[in-house]
């Protein structure tokens, strides 16, 4: 029995080592994203855990959203969506914002890749702010920007199916989104 357990353990360790070697040899160095679990999500959907009893889920009419440019490093750009409770009662958000990249009334083929720590409930008292961070490639491999540039983000609150509000996207070169994926972290307290 001990011998079988050792063999099973060795097989698992060998598999893990082999996958680590394969990952290191892939040679893909185009994007260096922050570590964390990731989950591909169709653009615009916003999975979330339901609010616990006694916690009121935030309503978009009580929230103010803003997109903030956080700057760039090499080919990557980052930004933050802030969410402020302008209502009169505390409310809770848990999960990820659903994000649709728009150019006028046309939806662009850009998806979000959810990453980061598992979502935790964020309770916003009136005046409190929460945020979510976005990271994307703003240049192609040759250093040129990508068109068409988004003009707005249609945002969906966690647990909702349809966008509830829009915010203006960034201007200038920061607005360039190359590839079809933008990563975003779960909503966290603070800005």
Give the whole-angstrom CA distance, residue 141 versus residue 76.
11
Query: Of 21-30, 39-48, 133-142, which has the strongest mean pLDDT?
Result: 133-142
**Per the domain annotation, does 28 fall within a domain?**
no
Identify the three-state secondary structure at position 61.
helix
**Per the domain annotation, does 48 fall within a domain?**
yes
**18-to-11, 22, 50 alpha-carbon distances in Å:** 11, 6, 39
**Per the domain annotation, does 20 fall within a domain?**
no
- What is the DSSP annotation of 89-148? S-EEE-S--EEEEEETTEEPS-EEEEESSPP--EEE-TT-EEEEEEEEE-S-TTS---SS
**Per the domain annotation, does 178 fall within a domain?**
yes
**Per the domain annotation, does 23 fall within a domain?**
no
Say whether pTM exceeds 0.75: no
| pLDDT score, position 51 | 45
Tens of pLDDT, residues 99-147: 999 999 999 999 999 998 899 999 999 999 999 999 999 988 788 888 8
Tens of pLDDT, residues 135-157: 999 988 788 888 889 999 999 99
Q: What total of structural domains would you count in the chain? A: 1
Calculate mean pLDDT across residues 46-74.
78
**Per the domain annotation, does 115 fall within a domain?**
yes
Q: Which domain holds residue 112?
A: 37-189
**Per the domain annotation, does 96 fall within a domain?**
yes
């Amino acid at each position: 029995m001990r011998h079988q357990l050792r063999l099973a353990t060795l097989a698992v360790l060998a598999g893990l080592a082999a996958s680590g070697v394969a990952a290191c040899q892939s040679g893909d160095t185009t994007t260096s994203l922050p570590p964390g679990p990731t989950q591909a999500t169709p653009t615009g959907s916003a999975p979330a855990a339901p609010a616990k009893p006694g916690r009121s889920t935030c309503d978009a009419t009580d929230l103010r959203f803003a997109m903030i440019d956080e700057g760039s490093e090499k080919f990557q750009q980052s930004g933050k969506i802030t969410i402020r409770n302008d209502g009169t009662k505390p409310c809770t958000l848990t999960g990820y914002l659903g994000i649709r990249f728009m150019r006028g009334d046309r939806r662009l083929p850009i998806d979000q890749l959810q990453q980061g720590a598992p979502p935790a409930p964020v309770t916003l008292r009136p005046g409190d702010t929460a945020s979510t961070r976005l990271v994307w490639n703003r240049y192609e491999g040759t250093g040129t920007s990508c068109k068409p540039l988004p003009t707005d983000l249609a945002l969906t609150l966690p647990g909702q199916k349809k966008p509830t509000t829009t915010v203006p996207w960034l201007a200038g070169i920061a607005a360039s989104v190359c590839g079809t994926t933008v990563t975003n972290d779960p909503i966290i307290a603070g800005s």
